[in-house]
A and B are shown apart, each in its own frame.
Chain A
Amino acid sequence: MTLIQDRPSEQPPRLEEPALMEIVPGPRPHGLVKYITSTDHKQIGLNYLVTSFIGFLFAGGLAEGIRTQLIKPDNHFVTENVFNQLFTMHGTIMLFVFLGPFAFAGLGNYFVPLMIGAPDMAFPRFNNLSYWLYLGGFLMLAGGFLTNNGAANFGWFGYAPITEAIHSPGPGADMWIVGIALTGFSGIFTAVNIITTIFTLRAPGMVMFRMPIFVWNQLVTMFLILLAFPVLTAAFALLWLDRHLNTHFYDPTHGGQPILWQNLFWFFGHPEVYILALPYFGIVTEVLATNSKKPVFGYKGMVGATLSIGALSMGVWAHHMYTTGAVLLPFFAALSLLIAVPTGIKFFNWLGTMWRGTLVVNTATLFCLGFLACFLFGGITGVILAQPVLDFQLHNTYFVVAHFHYVMFGGSAFAGFAGIYYWYPKMTGRKLDERLGVLSFVILFIGFNLTFFPQHDLGLRGMPRRIETYDGHLGWNFLNLLSSLGAYIAGFGVLISVWNFFHSYRHGELAGDNPWDGQTLEWACSSPPPEHNFEALPPIRSERPVWDANHPDMLTKVGH
């Protein structure tokens, strides 16, 4: 490609090089030591991506256990207690280890500096520390299964007072508290790092309104993390004090207030949902724009929508608490319904991005289309659940389970797969196998919908979530059977992609620097990028500098 100028043959002497040698004497570390000691944002990003994907597979395995237990009524695949551990740790690990860190720490670390033309993150060692805290948190959570009484077993939002020592004795719950607190600190540190990077390390010409939407969404996500995670950590600290130092913050028998936990937890928990969604919206935006060969339609509206989603998401936490009878329903209902508006704007912008483009339908695009379909449906059921009267009917039933899996799995995780298929060439230098990718998508899409679509109906038929077994006379048997079969199919679809990741790492087609005719700066450096990323940058005069350099005849039309 033409945009990177060849390095001038007469290179001026570089003053930094000898200094660098002094800082790192002796041979550079390699192998596992290199992975875990590196301060390179790309290596740390990869560490996050691999670790969080292992978390995804682990928690997915727990989900298969849940579905196996529920495949028929009065089943005894696992005991009540183990079942409670399965769904608690499934939720906890999926949210705190996989879905969040995969995007905001993994892809965020790897691609935010590349997309804004920075050599690294603002605080590289701090970045390394974040990863260590995160890994410690993951091991702490998973290690709960090795303890005497097993892992935490009260659901991922652990409503006090069941989390108190008297109801949940044993180290499993403590490891759950510490594990989540560690991942929380890791998230806060990553947020500080990425915000500073975006504000201070943008390349010349990369003004805020030329940043890719992915970077914008990461920025808003990071602010949400800074607002939400400290509250979570504080809530968990109080819970720890309750359990070990005989305080009574959440203990009703001594005047504590269990409802306080719900407020604190959801004050974190609802922004968390958008922390788990906004970066994935960014992925979809980038993939659709690149593969449509077009600029993002309504770029500024898109930024505005992201900002308003971020703002609104701080004021909707109590829509998880409609049935407590202790919240002001109209206020939270109004704000929750309002979120549909910026989300709708994003949808129409995605359609506008594809409109009159030349959409290359590859695996990444397919996952984005799957995302659009599933997220659309999850959004509509979200509007249903945002209305307190309907939530009175549906609260904690399988309808809710179906809704958030359509948002988090069919939505965010599908977009995550799109991100992997889109950026794998940049990270490894090789493309993923397209035929395996399409096969994986088709099987995963079918399996996903077979798993979760029947769960809407199960919820309407009155099946509560988190029950370990059910009466065979209630009309739930057939739908549960469908759902469990779907879960196995979806698991198979995921495994095809996992095989693809391994296989293509050695045998994939060589990608080159810019395999998708990309638009943003990460495609201007080699694949994988060298340390400190760029040798030269194309001029940055719009939000897609690489495209402008490669297609000077197809610049964005000005006006409307």
Chain B
Amino acid sequence: MDLATRLLGTDLGSPHGVTTQDQWTRQLWHTTYWFAVPIGLIVLFGIFWCVLRYRHRPGSSRQASQFQYHIPIEAAYTIIPLLIVAVVFGFMYNAENKVNAVSKTPAVKITVDGFQWGWRFIYPNGHQEVGTVANALDINSEANLPVLYMPAGETVQLHFVSEDVVHTFYVKEFLFNRDLIPGIDNTADFNVTRTGTFEGQCNNICGQYHAYMRFMVRVMPKDAYDAWYASQTPCSVTTAGQSNQTTLPPNSCPTSLSTERQV
């Protein structure tokens, strides 16, 4: 890899995610670039121009001009930025509604439960995929991480809860962070357009093994996902790094979790 690819391997921030929401994120990067790059360059040019053109040269008899106000210019650089901010806000408002939209009829609902230090993914039939850092303390190995199975091309609703402290669900390719806060129930919809395996990570400091609190997201074609889901016994628990599956008695088998207080 050459240096430029190494440094700018991310398309200057304009990201390519794997969900249908990523177009909105990319659009905001672009609108921000349209305004921010020219403004930044103008200011930078202004700095250089002032330093090069108006710096004091020993022996020069030029005297500094003693003006202080120029109302039209001052008005211009107050009003124009206000308009720009309004436009940026408009795009942002639209994109935010799209990204945050939550479907009433998602194809799949999965509960994402974070704890010190690991993840538990709970499916509607009570099947759980669990993994803790106790089995995953080799940072260079993804073998024993818990896996979140998702179908591609379907609206998957993730429901975020935490058992102890604040964690954050973060998958780089989803271009998305959402906190798991005790006392707050969060949901977000994802429609992943590409099959594949992506790495996720807790993104909020949650104690000693925060760096090891990782997971994998395996996005499968719909029929493969359906076959996988059908093969999971209800209330069974698969623990990453352990070969045997356990099954919970039906009365202690959660089909989803809630941390919202009962009022």
Interface residues of A (CB under 8 A from B): 73-74, 80-81, 84, 153-155, 159-162, 167, 252-253, 255-259, 292-301, 323-326, 329-330, 333-334, 337-338, 340-341, 344-345, 347-348, 351-352, 354-361, 369, 372-373, 376-377, 380, 383-384, 387-393, 395-397, 454, 456-457, 460-462, 464, 466-475, 478-479, 554-557, 559-560
Sampled A-B contacts (27; CB under 8 Å): A74-B139, A80-B208, A154-B207, A162-B205, A162-B206, A345-B77, A354-B54, A356-B67, A357-B54, A357-B64, A361-B56, A388-B96, A389-B99, A391-B177, A392-B176, A392-B177, A393-B177, A396-B170, A396-B204, A454-B7, A460-B10, A460-B13, A462-B170, A471-B142, A556-B66, A557-B68, A559-B69
Q: Is the interface of B mostly helix, strand, loop or mixed?
A: mixed
Smallest distance from the beta carbon of B77 to chain A beta carbons, Å?
A: 4
Q: 15 more A-B contacts (CB under 8 A) besides A80-B211, A393-B177?
A: A74-B139, A155-B205, A161-B166, A252-B259, A294-B64, A299-B69, A323-B168, A337-B88, A354-B47, A354-B54, A360-B55, A389-B25, A392-B99, A395-B177, A472-B140
Check B194 for interface membership: any CB of A closer than 8 A.
no
**Ordered nearest first, which 4 A-B pairs have the shortest CB separation?**
A462-B172, A252-B182, A467-B211, A354-B50
Q: B36, A358: Cβ atoms under 8 Å?
A: no
Q: Which of B36, B66, B201, B205 contacts A84 (CB 8 A)?
A: B205
**Complex interface residues of chain B between 176 and 190 (CB less than 8 A to chain A):** 176-179, 181-184, 186, 188
B67 touches A473 (CB 8 A): no
Are A159 and B67 within 8 A (Cβ)? Answer: no
* Chain B hits for A301, CB < 8 A: 74, 78
Known contacts A467-B211, A560-B69; A380/B50 CB under 8 A: no
- A369-B47, A389-B24 given as contacts; is B68 within 8 A of A296 (CB)? yes
Instruction: Please provide the chain B residues from 33 to 51 with a CB less than 8 Å away from any CB of chain A in the complex.
Output: 36, 39-40, 43-44, 46-47, 50-51
In the assembled complex, the CB of B238 is this many whole angstroms from the nearest CB of chain A, namely 23
Contacts A344-B77, A383-B88, A387-B32; is A326 near B181 (CB within 8 Å)?
yes
Point out the residue from A325, A358, A393 that lies within 8 Å of B186, measured CB to CB.
A325
Q: Does the CB pair A380–B40 fall under 8 Å?
A: yes
User: How many Å from the CB of A284 to the closest CB on chain B?
Assistant: 12
* Given A301-B74, A340-B85, CB of A159 within 8 Å of CB of B166: yes
- List B contacts of A259 (CB < 8 A): 181, 183-184
Establish whether residues B205 and A475, one from each chain, have CB atoms under 8 Å apart when the complex forms: no
Whether A383 contacts B25 by the Cβ 8 Å rule is no
A101 to chain B, nearest CB (A): 25
A293 proximity list for chain B (CB < 8 A): 56, 63-64
Is B9 in contact with A351, judged by CB distance below 8 angstroms?
A: no
Say whether B88 contacts A154, CB under 8 Å.
no
Chain B proximity of A328: nearest CB distance (Å): 11
Closest B-chain residue to A325, C-beta based?
Answer: B186
A329 lies within 8 A of B96 (CB): yes
Indicate the member of B8, B17, B70 with the most A CB atoms within 10 Å. Answer: B70
Interface residue? B196 (CB, 8 A): no
